Amino acid sequence: KNEVEQSPQNLTAQEGEFITINCSYSVGISALHWLQQHPGGGIVSLFMLSSGKKKHGRLIATINIQEKHSSLHITASHPRDSAVYICAVSPSVVTQGGSEKLVFGKGTKLTVNP
Amino acid sequence: DAGITQSPRHKVTETGTPVTLRCHQTENHRYMYWYRQDPGHGLRLIHYSYGVKDTDKGEVSDGYSVSRSKTEDFLLTLESATSSQTSVYFCAISEGSPVTQYFGPGTRLLVL
């Protein structure tokens, strides 16, 4: 079983719809990250959160530490939101040299149709 | 943008040939990482570095070696490329605690 599970794997929506992507994890963490990757593009960090909720424009990320669960919401979705959204966690354990290695989910591919 | 570049951006090579990918950063970050990204697997860590000449293996290190002789450069070498190493390779740096990782633009490698 992967330490970070995302659902759904694929999501198709119509422009304007409210979208939710879920992430569950099984390890103790110091933080959770949401990343975005457009087709053929690089990977960009959207949020890092360790508690509560963060909002940036139409994107909202929430985390429940007790339930080991996070959600990424997109309000009023737009075709330019089409991308792969990746959940990653920073495990509480620090590895050799003090490096914190992220553990990644497999991503959720979002397609927003006009 | 954390000043990360990767070269080459695209490469086609033949099975059995050596390949070196370069990651260059301009902001003196201590920690650097090499990942590969494949459909159905997501990002997987190959090797990472926590300083000049200090490196360690990740979860998919077989067939790969790395070197870091300068803070700014982290090299990934496939000693003898195989078709299973066809992938997109991303370099990353991290800063802060908890870390935020910043990724390079990626290198698409095709091994024929």
Average pLDDT, integer, range A58-78: 97
- On whether any CB of chain A is under 8 Å from the CB of B54, the answer is yes
pLDDT for residue A107 = 95
Identity of the residue in B33, B42, B101 whose CB atom sits nearest the CB atom of A45: B101
Using the CB atoms, write b or e for B51-72: b if 16+ within 10 Å: eeeebbebebbeebebbbeeeb
pLDDT-based confidence at B5, cuts 50/70/90?
very high
Phi-psi region of B9 (alpha: psi -120 to 50; beta: other; left: phi over 0): alpha
**CA pair distance A91, B98, nearest whole angstrom:** 9
- On whether any CB of chain A is under 8 Å from the CB of B95, the answer is no
pLDDT for residue A1 = 60
pLDDT for residue B39 = 87
Check pLDDT > 90 for residue A39. Answer: no
**C-beta atoms of B100 and A48 within 8 A:** yes
pLDDT above 90 as % of chain A: 76
**C-beta atoms of B100 and A45 within 8 A:** yes
DSSP A21-77: EEEEE-S-EEEEEEEEE-TT--EEEEEEESSEEEEETTEEEEEETTTTEEEEEESS-
pLDDT above 70 as % of chain A: 94
Q: Which residues of A touch B47 (CB under 8 A)?
A: none
Check pLDDT > 70 for residue B2. Answer: no
The average confidence (pLDDT) of chain A is 92
- On whether any CB of chain B is under 8 Å from the CB of A38, the answer is no
pLDDT-based confidence at B45, cuts 50/70/90?
very high
- Tokens 């429940």 found at: A64
Q: Which residues of A touch B34 (CB under 8 A)?
A: none
pLDDT for residue A96 = 65
pLDDT-based confidence at A94, cuts 50/70/90?
low
- On whether any CB of chain B is under 8 Å from the CB of A86, the answer is yes
**CA pair distance A54, A51, nearest whole angstrom:** 9
**C-beta atoms of A90 and B41 within 8 A:** no
* Structure tokens given for B61: 């290190």
pLDDT-based confidence at B72, cuts 50/70/90?
very high
Which residue of chain B comes nearest to A4, CA vs CA?
B42
pLDDT-based confidence at A95, cuts 50/70/90?
low
Task: Report the relative pairing of strands B107-111 and B10-13 from DSSP bridges.
Answer: parallel
pLDDT-based confidence at A90, cuts 50/70/90?
confident
The mean-pLDDT minimum among A8-22, A48-62, A90-104 falls in A90-104
The average confidence (pLDDT) of chain B is 93
CB pairs under 8 A between A and B: 60
pLDDT for residue A37 = 96
- On whether any CB of chain A is under 8 Å from the CB of B42, the answer is yes
Greater confidence, A52 or A1? A52
Average pLDDT, integer, range A37-46: 90
Check pLDDT > 80 for residue B96. Answer: no
Q: Which residues of B touch A45 (CB under 8 A)?
A: 100-102
Check pLDDT > 90 for residue A14. Answer: yes
